[in-house]
Every structure is written in C-alpha cells, then in structure tokens.
Amino acid sequence: MGLVLSFVEMDLFTDNSIKFRMVGDMDRLPQSVQDKIRYMEDLTKDGERMTVIMAMSYSSKQELTRATRLIAEEVKNGQLKSEDITEQTINDHLYTNFMPDPELLIRTGGELRISNYLLWQCAYSEFYFCNTYWPDFDEEALHKAIADYQSRQRRFGKTEAQVEAEEK
C-alpha cells in the first residue's frame, strides 16, 4: 500500500491545484500509510481544478455493509427513524458521499465485470470495456472511450421511448 503512495508526486497535486481523496477502509491500512493519506488530503484540500480519488482497502460490498451498520446505529440511538431511510440516507453514509456518481466506468484488461467496485454508485453509469491493460491505457485509448460514451443516449433506467416522450 505504501508503495502505491510513494509514486504520487505531491508537487503535481499542489502545483496544479488538484485535490487528493481516498475512499476505502482507512483503519485496515498500516498507520504509516494512514498518516501519508491524511497528510496528502490535508495538503491538497483546497485544490479546485480537479479531484483525484484513489480506492485503497476498498470493496463495494464492505462499503454497503459499513453504511448499513452506521444507519442501524443511528436508528438504535433514536437519531433516525427506519421509515425515514431513503436512497439519500444510504448515499450519505458511503465512502463516496462527497462525489457525484460516475457517468462513465472504463474497465480495462478485457474483463467484462466491475469486480465489486462502486456497485451502488454505478446504477446508471455507462460502461466501456476494452482489451487494453491499465498500464497501456493512454490518451488515445481515453479519447476512444470518451467518443464511445458521447455516442450514447443517457437514459438513467428509462426506455428510449420514455426519454423521447419527455423530450417532446
């Protein structure tokens, strides 16, 4: 885990006003890695141009289990009524509560699965699968994925006829 963070160039973030955030169970990471993550997040907290999010010690099933436990604790303590639990309540308890749901998920390496990654958040994401492995995924591959995405009609769970009827 620490090796991954050793490759992160802090100057790249600070010089370009990039915010760094981590999602995952930080408590499961070695203390030295936790300290480095907190330092990076604090140092870059005012970054405005973009946010880079790194998932470490992350599992979507674990994330949903954690959110459920947190909500159950709030119900038990009388802070929340069970009938008041909504999709937003769940969303607010996820590691990713600070970010919008992804519009496009790019899966590299020829795999046709999302591998326990952002299961809740990807409900209406568009998926792009390619055979290119992550280390070889370059600017040209990204442009290809974006072009494919731009050719799609975002329907958010609706049928094409429903979307067309709304547009009229």
The pLDDT, as a whole number, for residue 154 is 86
Residues 31 and 53 in one domain: yes
What is the rounded (10 degree) CA torsion for 33, 37, 43, 46?
180
pLDDT (tens digit, 9 = 90+) per residue, 92-109? 999 999 999 999 999 999
One-letter amino acid for residue 116 of the chain: N
Q: Cα separation of 46 and 102, whole Å?
A: 22
Q: Is the pLDDT of residue 1 over 60?
A: no
Q: What percent of the chain has pLDDT over 70?
A: 95
Residue 5's pLDDT band (cuts 50, 70, 90): low
Q: Verify that 48 and 65 share a domain, yes or no.
A: no
- Looking at the structure of the chain, the number of domains it has is 3
> Going along 26-131, which residue ranges are E strands?
50-55, 104-107, 126-129
pLDDT value of residue 134 = 84
SS3 state of residue 71? helix
Residues 90 and 107 in one domain: no
Q: What is the pLDDT of residue 4?
A: 62
Query: Residue 140: CB partners within 8 Å, gap ≥ 6?
Result: none
Shared domain check, 107 and 161: yes
Straight-line distance from the first to the last Cα atom of the chain, in angstroms, rounded to the nearest whole number: 52
What does the pLDDT average to over 118-126? 95
Task: Report the predicted TM-score, pTM, of the whole model to 2 decimal places.
Answer: 0.81
User: Cβ distance 96 to 118 under 8 Å?
Assistant: yes
Assess whether 109 and 83 both reside in one domain. Answer: no
Structural domain containing residue 85: 59-99
Tokens of 137: 């995924």
115 and 70, same structural domain? no
